[in-house]
Amino acid sequence: MPISPARVAAFDILLRVEREDSYASELLHASRYANLSAADHGLATELVMGILRWRSLLDKYIAERSSQKLPRLDREVLTALRLAAYQLLFLDRVPQRAAVHESVELVKRARKRSAVPFANAVLRNFAGIARNPDGVSAIANAKTAPELAEDSAHPLWLVERWIQEFGFEAGKQICVYNQRIPEAAISVSDATIADELRKHKIQLSAGHLLKSAYCVTAGDLTGTRPFREGRVVTQDEASQLVSMLVGEGSKILDCCAAPGGKTRTLAGRNPNARIVATELYPHRARLLRRLVAAANVQVIAADARKLPTIALFDRVLADVPCSGTGTLARNPEIKWRLKLEDLADLQGRQLAILRSAMQRVSPGGRLVYSTCSLEKEENSAVVEGAMSVDSSFRVLDCRVELERLRAHGELRWEDIDSLTSGPYLQTIPGVHPCDGFFAAILEKI
């Protein structure tokens, strides 16, 4: 019996995520998998994301049934075991025999025939195991950081940091949020697009945070004409909110711009502004150009630390590269890759980009520094580091801007206090129904 295309795709993608540091969500949308049927693509997505979300818990179950220590296993063998374990533990519609048989076939396909008896033995030991399709319900009982980390399949060091920063309950809410499939949000500047999407059988509900946002509750958005024509894109509501904090300007610089969600929002809200969008990697700059076709946006492949312009801008956005710990529901592989030591390296880059961006702000102009990280090293510490060596800026209170957006009916979320931490914006996944974003507004005096 051949292995199903969905499992082959999931297996290959999981291996590439480990070998190449690639992002699963990008690989799943690569042209190589465009020929999968909708059902196979759906199953491949469920397997890849589910296994990345629950990896440490799956490994615990495998280790309890294995005669060998997991670090000694070949990557291909461990990946095939994780695939089977995920289906046996979390998917109640997949027959046990199919899950086991196809994983063993994947071991053979990977030319690891000598590991076949071992894989069979491990998976036999799963016989009769109770399925638990709602893995998150167990997280509610966690009383300590180690229990929370184990039950929610997160590295302990991250969980401990979040508990220290946000408290135990918020830490738990973050972990629960990260283990669920997040809603897809879209930004819609023109209400007719929402009507058009509904005609394509896309079910939409009102955005949680923003009036211009909708959540996709059912239907395949990617198959619709507005999506294929680039008239609608998915963008988390917190990301949309960050671009709104940039406000209105006539000359705008977006200096870490790809893939371009925020540039797109900036262009939509500032149709008469001249917008320069820079991105370090040329291939990502091309992606940005495709996503943001607006004539008033100039795309340049450039390093934001050495911007190729001496022009000044009245609005600047520095949405810097970061750890992405606010996006683990969408990018669960990050939690297994990130090391505490990486934060110092990221901070160095972020500080260099912020300081360079500050040079490009005109007097009276504003700069928004943002990340999708929950880690203070990448957030307040970077802002404070930059402010300590440049007294020509002051930090504005984000609350004022949030209240303005609320007064204009653009911000739907009522509890503005919960969105702020000191003068900064900080959304927390699970506490808020969106990714975790940080933003600071700096004004050039």
Ligand X SMILES: C[S@@+](CC[C@H](N)C(=O)[O-])C[C@H]1O[C@@H](n2cnc3c(N)ncnc32)[C@H](O)[C@@H]1O
What residues act catalytically? 372
Distance separating alpha carbons of residues 123 and 65, to the nearest angstrom:
8
Q: Which alpha helices (H) appear in 235-294, and where do they start and end?
A: 237-246, 261-269, 282-291
For residue 32, give the nearest of 7, 12, 4 by alpha carbon: 12
Structure tokens at 340: 């505490």
378 binds ligand X, rule: CB under 6 A: no
Distance separating alpha carbons of residues 204 and 184, to the nearest angstrom:
10
284 binds ligand X, rule: CB under 6 A: yes
Distance separating alpha carbons of residues 192 and 265, to the nearest angstrom:
17
Question: Which of 73, 258, 267, 351: binder of ligand X (CB under 6 A)?
Answer: 258
Looking at the Cβ atoms of 202 and 258, the one nearer to ligand X is 258
Looking at the Cβ atoms of 278 and 421, the one nearer to ligand X is 278
Are 193 and 226 spatial neighbours (Cβ–Cβ below 8 Å)? yes
**Least CB distance from residue 432 to ligand X, whole Å?**
18
Which window, 102-110, 115-123, 164-172, 299-307, contacts ligand X (CB under 6 A)?
Answer: 299-307
260 binds ligand X, rule: CB under 6 A: yes
**Least CB distance from residue 191 to ligand X, whole Å?**
23
Looking at the Cβ atoms of 224 and 278, the one nearer to ligand X is 278
Peptide bond into 433 cis (omega under 30): no
Q: Which of residues 344-363 bind ligand X (CB under 6 A)?
A: 353
CA separation, residue 342 to residues 149, 349, 378 (Å): 20, 11, 11
Q: Which of residues 317-336 bind ligand X (CB under 6 A)?
A: 319, 321
Looking at the Cβ atoms of 110 and 299, the one nearer to ligand X is 299
**Least CB distance from residue 409 to ligand X, whole Å?**
24
CA separation, residue 310 to residues 126, 258, 267, 362 (Å): 64, 22, 22, 11
**Least CB distance from residue 138 to ligand X, whole Å?**
33
305 binds ligand X, rule: CB under 6 A: yes
182 binds ligand X, rule: CB under 6 A: no
Looking at the Cβ atoms of 279 and 375, the one nearer to ligand X is 279
Which window, 12-20, 38-46, 259-267, 373-381, contacts ligand X (CB under 6 A)?
Answer: 259-267
**Least CB distance from residue 352 to ligand X, whole Å?**
8
Distance separating alpha carbons of residues 378 and 350, to the nearest angstrom:
7
- The dihedrals phi and psi of 443, each to the nearest 5 degrees, come to -115, 135
Helix (H, G, I), strand (E, B) or coil at 275: strand
Helix (H, G, I), strand (E, B) or coil at 366: strand
Looking at the Cβ atoms of 14 and 257, the one nearer to ligand X is 257
Looking at the Cβ atoms of 79 and 371, the one nearer to ligand X is 371
342 binds ligand X, rule: CB under 6 A: no
77 binds ligand X, rule: CB under 6 A: no
239 binds ligand X, rule: CB under 6 A: yes
For residue 438, give the nearest of 346, 333, 320, 340 by alpha carbon: 320
**Residue 442 burial (CB count, 10 A):** 26
Q: Which of residues 262-281 bind ligand X (CB under 6 A)?
A: 262, 278-281
Distance separating alpha carbons of residues 249 and 134, to the nearest angstrom:
47
Q: Specify the DSSP class assigned to residue 420.
A: E
Structure tokens at 208: 């949680």
Question: Which of 48, 159, 253, 304: binder of ligand X (CB under 6 A)?
Answer: 304
Contact residues for ligand X, defined by CB under 6 A:
239, 256-262, 278-281, 284, 303-305, 319, 321, 353
